Amino acid sequence: MDTTRRKEIKKLIRKDGGILDKKSTGEKILFAIVFCIFAIHSFTLIFPVLWMIMSSFKGPLEYMGGEVFRLPETWRFGNYAEAFRVLNVGETNFLGMTFNSIWYTAIRTVCGVFIPAATGYVMSKYRFPGWNVIFSVAIISMIIPIVGNTASKMQIISTLQLMDTPLFVVVDSLGGFGGTFLVFYGFFKALSWSYAEAVMIDGGGHFVIFLKIMLPQAAPILLTYAITGSIEFWNEYETIILFLHSYPTLASGLFEYQSNAIRLANYPIYFAGLIISIIPTLLIFSIFSDRIMTSVSIGGLKG
């Protein structure tokens, strides 16, 4: 862009003014109040993370007996290397917990996206005996509160001999209903069936229609749910503690480490482990934040 063009743009900006220049005094005051509220809220979210990062470079005695908000006297970068050696849960070390987090998140994410997509497609494009019953059950199951069903779920999982086995993750992820199902149901229902008719003319079957025609068109929704789901499952710890105690992830393992060593825990090293554990989710969100924000709108997801 040449210099003349830049000068013209600057003149237009000065001429049009900012957004606040077009607002009334009352609107400007309201804007300032809302801005202050969100600024304070943002500070309350960011400050604990910054404090934890600062504390992760301290020694255990300095952390326990020194000023809480004082910078470290000696920056102990070795705490992050020590986290891989010290932070163990049972026979699982830090690298083992990282591996468990990876495969657990991968299975949960893939099943949590593909199964509702397949269920939503079948329910939206096909009519079969019992369709009304299945759809009614799907809706009613979303209305009934599930708080308090953990005991019965544990009994079922134990009876099926899935307790504390990786197969539990697969079976527990096969539910095709819920809010994700409704999003895919609405998307595929609005999608023209002419695509499928064209494939049928060429001899393609129902699986070809779904996998090669319909599913790719839902790629933006699939990607968005995969991103948000992976962040959620990476940080999940209650399910692992209850049903996969022999396979601790970073989230569950660090939680158990802190719970089992309240007085003897080396908190700076523990904080270093926490920082390491949140790096993948921070990277995922920073890379795909635009994808998430552009795909989520008022009322749901858009393709």
Please check whether residues 25 and 146 belong to one and the same domain.
no
Give a three-class secondary structure readout of 231-293.
HHHHCCCHHHHHHCCCCCCHHHHHHHHHHHCCCCCCHHHHHHHHHHHHHHHHHHHHHHHHHHH
Per residue in 247-279, pLDDT tens?
999 999 999 888 876 666 788 999 999 999 999
Please check whether residues 146 and 66 belong to one and the same domain.
no
Please check whether residue 2 lies inside any domain of the structure: no
Cite the DSSP H helix spans in 126-237.
131-143, 150-159, 167-172, 179-190, 194-201, 206-208, 215-217, 219-234
Please check whether residues 52 and 146 belong to one and the same domain.
no
Please check whether residue 9 lies inside any domain of the structure: no
Please check whether residues 123 and 233 belong to one and the same domain.
yes
Cα–Cα distance measured from residue 257 to residue 249, given in angstroms and rounded to the nearest whole number: 11
Please check whether residues 236 and 177 belong to one and the same domain.
yes
Please check whether residues 105 and 165 belong to one and the same domain.
yes
Please check whether residue 249 lies inside any domain of the structure: yes
Share of the chain above pLDDT 70, in %: 86
**Domain membership of residue 114 as a residue range:** 90-301
The CA-based diameter of the chain, rounded to the nearest angstrom, is 77
Give residue 140's identity as a one-letter amino acid code.
I
Does the structure show a pLDDT above 70 at 7? no
How many domains is the chain built from?
Answer: 2
Which of 67, 83, 99 terminates a domain? The answer is: 83
Please check whether residue 12 lies inside any domain of the structure: no
Please check whether residues 101 and 69 belong to one and the same domain.
no
CATH of the domain at 103: 1.10.3720.10
Please check whether residue 262 lies inside any domain of the structure: yes
What are the backbone dihedrals phi and psi of residue 92, each rounded to the nearest 5 degrees, phi first? -100, 125
Higher-pLDDT residue of 113 and 259 is 113
pLDDT-derived band of residue 303, with 50, 70 and 90 as boundaries? very low
Residue 144 is predicted with a pLDDT of 78
Please check whether residue 25 lies inside any domain of the structure: yes
Please check whether residues 46 and 99 belong to one and the same domain.
no
Per residue in 139-193, pLDDT tens?
888 887 777 778 888 898 999 999 999 999 999 988 888 888 999 999 999 888 8
Please check whether residues 118 and 222 belong to one and the same domain.
yes
Q: Which residues contact 43 (CB under 8 A, 6 or more apart)?
A: none
Which of 83, 100, 129 terminates a domain? The answer is: 83
Please check whether residue 1 lies inside any domain of the structure: no
**SS3 at position 70:** coil
Please check whether residues 74 and 112 belong to one and the same domain.
no
Per residue in 147-160, pLDDT tens?
777 888 889 899 99
Higher-pLDDT residue of 81 and 292 is 81
Per residue in 38-88, pLDDT tens?
999 999 989 999 999 999 999 888 888 777 788 888 899 999 999 998 888
Q: Which helix (H) or strand (E) holds 54?
A: helix 25-55
Please check whether residue 219 lies inside any domain of the structure: yes
Residue 20 is predicted with a pLDDT of 57
Residue with token string 């290397």:
81
Which of 83, 100, 117 terminates a domain? The answer is: 83
Residue with token string 């300032």:
32
Residue 299 is predicted with a pLDDT of 40
Please check whether residues 183 and 66 belong to one and the same domain.
no
Residue with token string 């862009």:
1
CA 28 to chain centre: 36
Q: Which helix (H) or strand (E) holds 32?
A: helix 25-55
Please check whether residues 71 and 144 belong to one and the same domain.
no
